[in-house]
Structure 1
């Protein structure tokens, strides 16, 4: 059973005031010609526009975002170092598609090779780095899939580190956004590399294929992809003020259209939506009754920063309520979910976050157990 606090009280508690005005409407996004697309607010995770976001597709070189993510983990663990010199194998040298033109048998500083992986989308760099890190590309791919599973990327499976076409190699637009949020959240210093427009290696200057980096100075990433079977794909992110958006466009017909569609998505999100922070992580929102415990209640709150994304002008119309389990028996451990915080824009649920115990409560003695058992009968 859940007990609902009066919405107005919760609105006052979070600094919002209810309003009788109608919610501002958001115009529909014009139809885009891409096979799939998705627009998401980075901070709140709210989806603002979507077309088949869970469909499994060939991600092409967007795959290399996971390749880089695993490399960042290995650097953080100390298993590899930027000063390492990476041997270029025959397999890496023979890779087709986009390359940074590595030479077989040469040893190249790992840091330079990561730059080539990200900016030039080098297939040769991806293979060489995977072999250096894990002994073989196959071993490295196991780490990629393990991370996909950990991040709950349910429509993703990798068979290589480059995105080379394979029927068993796929991602979805939603999974791509999940991975992008993880990269930006966990490795913000490494993420800065995705905004670099050009890179030279072996006397050859190559340019980042993300054309939005030249057209919109708020765009700072992320990754392009293209094969004949996948079409033209573009994963983009832009920040204006404190608001960051992530867009994914898959299966566009040309380099130009993938850029145009991505720009349309970003403009749509920034034009019609706004994001607000309601609470800091580990904020206590209320107390929850605990039965048969050493304490009669436990502080209750949220463990992550709480953001909400809404149509512009609707902030004053938000209502909040808390749904608290009224049958909580000790013991309670810190982090146990005991309710939900719900934010509504008039009658539409905008966002829900788990309410968790911010402390632990042990089981009480015999007398407490008896008296609380009786009291509990009158509230259920």
Structure 2
């Protein structure tokens, strides 16, 4: 485990805010998500849970599994281990997937971007496996990466057996865990360029042209909806992890185990309406704001600006009053050069008194390489007083 050193400043920020309390279905608002086995409403930027109904109940997630699949795909794209214009040759195994599919044929070649559309829009099981095989070498190895990522995210009630959500023994998750996965996926903002598509075409103009239609019909009817993933099997019933934005709020709503698609959509709509109707967000720091500068005479450049990974936002109920929030910075004790843009180097934590309200990773705003011998020689003559170490 990394140890952290508390550095420099604690910013006491006065706002017309009060920490929103988590609302439990058994306490009030029983009409919200009444037809779901489990549900949760989480605000993405703050990470606050606003509503919870059996959110830790282990259930089959069906195709909502693909939220984790998409997360690993987006991470590979960010690392440039995968390119959108790269063509992938489809294996017999990938082409054999049943359920939702984009009807890939063994030996066919399709770009990563089109396969990504196939997963995000049409919930293609064949596209999911094709990308899994490209990233990890086999579906089995990709599933190991999925479960390791779940562990890294601290998800204790999730286990995957495949990247698709097709029925399998010992394949389960929870509404809470799906919301955390969705929150992590939405850090990759470009994912909504795909999940917000209502319809599109693959192989356009060819004999085997395929019309993609989003399985999430709320994309077209709910204002601000930009994703994320539906799911259905006989055992899982109707599920949906949905994302919608309004002003400084970005809500994630998860419903699992609804008997009918209409009931699922009504539950999602009621959750989102509750969140947007009762709460407002206040941005403490923007994701481009420099919150700290680190210096190191061994690096080029030798000063590095740290910015939050996403907007630092707290919520308030619309009818509630003042509170003091304290924002503190902690940095990783040891970071090796070179540093890549986006590397996580610390945290910005928001507290309301003794209670932690939000925690956002601090990341490098640009790459830092090791200084060469000439640069180090020049710097040896400078006054190093006040320099900080990484």
Is the structural similarity TM-score above 0.5? yes
Q: Does 1:142 align with 2:144?
A: yes
Q: Determine which of 225, 230, 238 is the counterpart of 1:224.
A: 230
Alignment of 1:212-361 (within 5 A): 212-279=218-285, 306-314=312-320, 316-320=321-325, 342-343=351-352, 351=357
Shift of 1:361: 9.5
Q: How has the CA–CA distance of structure 1 residues 141 and 318 changed in structure 2, closer, same or farther, with 3 Å as cutoff?
A: same
Q: What does 1:116-265 correspond to in 2, within 5 Å?
A: 116-185=118-187, 187-201=188-202, 202-265=208-271
Q: Which residue of 1 aligns with 2:73?
A: 71
Distance 1:336 1:45, change over 3 A: closer
Larger-gyration structure (1/2): 1
Query: Larger % of helix: which?
Result: 1
SS at match of 2:77: helix
Report if aligned partners of 2:314, 2:357 keep a CA contact under 8 Å in 1: yes
Cα deviations by residue, 1:194-236 (Å, 9 ceiling, x for unpaired): 1000132332313111111111131111100000000000111
Query: What is the rounded CA distance, in whole Å, between the counterparts of 2:312 and 2:116 in structure 1?
Result: 34
Q: CA separation in 1, counterparts of 2:15 and 2:110? A: 56
| 8 A contact 2:14–2:325 mirrored in 1 | no
Q: 1:15 maps to what in 2?
A: 14
CA contact (8 A) 1:116 1:199 kept: no
Change (3 A) 1:308 1:255: same
Where structure 1 has 5 or more consecutive residues not aligned to the other structure, the ranges are 1-9, 285-301, 324-331, 363-380
Structure 2 partner of 1:29? 29
Output the CA distance in 1 between the equivalents of 2:17 and 2:177: 35
1: CA distance, partners of 2:260 / 2:76: 35
Classify 1:148/1:18 alpha carbon distance in 2 versus 1 (closer, same or farther; 3 Å): closer
**8 Å contact 2:350–2:356 — kept in the other structure?**
no
CA distance in 1 between partners of 2:173 and 2:263 (Å): 21
Which residue of the partner structure matches residue 373 of structure 1? Answer: none
**Distance in 2 (alpha carbons) for counterparts of 1:283 and 1:306:** 11
CA contact (8 A) 1:199 1:207 kept: yes
Q: CA RMSD in A?
A: 3.6
Q: Following TM superposition, by how much is the alpha carbon of 1:279 offset from its aligned partner in structure 2, in angstroms?
A: 4.9
Give the superposition deviation at 1:306: 4.3
Task: Provide Cα deviations, 1:272-305, integer angstroms capped at 9, x if missing partner.
Answer: 1111123567759xxxxxxxxxxxxxxxxx9786
* Contact 1:120 1:199 survives alignment (8 Å): no
Structure 1 counterpart SS, 2:131: helix
SS across alignment from 1:14: strand
Superposition deviation, residue 127 in structure 1: 1.2
Unmatched 5+ stretches in structure 2: 1-9, 203-207, 293-306, 336-344, 363-385
Mark the CA change 1:343 to 1:127 in structure 2 (over 3 Å): closer, same or farther.
Answer: same
Q: Structure 2 CA distance, aligned partners of 1:75 and 1:333?
A: 27
**Cα contact 1:64–1:117 (8 A) shared by 2:** yes
Say whether the 8 Å CA contact 1:29–1:49 is kept in structure 2.
Answer: no
| Alpha-carbon displacement from aligned partner over 1:106-130 (angstroms, at most 9, x marks no partner) | 1222221111111110011111221
TM-score (norm 2): 0.71
- In 1: Cα distance, 2:148 partner to 2:181 partner: 13
Q: Distance in 1 between matches of 2:153 and 2:97?
A: 29
Secondary structure of the 2:98 match is coil
Post-superposition Cα deviations, 1:136-191, rounded to whole Å, max 9, x if no partner, equal 10011111112111111221111111011122211111111111111111x11133
Tell me: CA distance 1:125–1:50, structure 2 relative to 1, closer, same or farther (3 Å).
same
Taking structure 1 as the reference length, the TM-score comes to 0.73
Distance in 2 between residues matched to 1:322 and 1:139, nearest whole Å: 40
